[in-house]
Amino acid sequence: MRYLHTMVRVADVEASLDFYCNKMGLVEIRRHESEAGRFTLIFLAAPEDKERAMADQAPLLELTYNWDPEEYDGGRNFGHLAYVVDNIYDLCQSLQDKGVTINRPPRDGHMAFVRSPDGISIELLQKGDPLEPAEPWKSMENTGSW
């Protein structure tokens, strides 16, 4: 057995791609549109997983866009996606500069949470040992739910 992908439903393809690709830094690996099924599947990978994702079709994040309008309200029930990052402070600052709310700041230099436009909780974990606690993160309060 091996892990393939996690699927999340999205309501707005452009807003989701802006978040996952432009802000989080994921890359699109492939896309499939089904006229008969009336859906679009977009597969994304973390930059360090790109070669493996291209070769093995894993590990991937699958964004599913259903062409017929639907209401999605179970994002928090899903749990979260998790990504290890080279520098949690730099990424959180970059996300914040791009208008993303840091719901759980990396006060401990190790872990932070943000949410996608569809309410999917995303955990960011510092690669290796935690960074030394630093401002403004050290004293920043939680915002919303994560």
User: What are the residue numbers of the active site?
Assistant: 123
Query: Cα–Cα distance between 70 and 50 in angstroms, integer?
Result: 31
Q: What is the DSSP letter of 73?
A: -
Q: Reading across the β-sheet that carries 5-9, which strands appear in turn?
A: 5-9, 60-66, 39-45, 27-34
User: Looking at residue 83, what DSSP letter applies?
Assistant: E
What pairs with residue 104 in β-bridges?
113
Contact 131, 124 (CB under 8 A): no
